Amino acid sequence: MSKRVGVVCGSFHRDEVERMLSWVREEATLCNISLGDIVWVPGSMEVPLALDRLLVTHDAAICLGIIEKGETQHGLAMGQAVIKTILDLQLKHDKAIGLGIIGPGAEPHHIEPRLEPHARAALRAVVNG
């Protein structure tokens, strides 16, 4: 039986995340995973609430996004809070969440080479989870 996996996508870097989503779709086919709902949110800060809602009706979920390095520590603090909350959601729902968020602290030259590997790894993380 194929798992049904929800996807949360941060739209702040929409072009890059759309490319990540295409690799997730390809990887899902290879892993016999059924993608369920795909939810777009403004940015990484909105990811946990969307994941919480998806995990009620899906077997697992993944999230895709990018948290760039900024001029202040805001992105780092926000990224740590988001990742901590994602870990808490896995425990709350007893379901796997694949983390496909690049960063926090990603600089422009870090992003491109990480798009495909992070997308595919996020999906593979929930295959046996």
Catalytic residues, which ones? Answer: 74
Measure the CA–CA gap between 64 and 45, rounded to whole angstroms. 12
Q: Establish how many alpha carbons lie within 13 A of residue 125's alpha carbon, considering only the half-sphere containing its beta carbon.
A: 20
| C-alpha dist (Å) from residue 66 to 69, 90, 94, 110, 113 | 10, 21, 25, 10, 13
What is the SS3 assignment for 82-95? HHHHHHHHHHHHCC
Retrieve residue 117's tokens. Answer: 């590997």
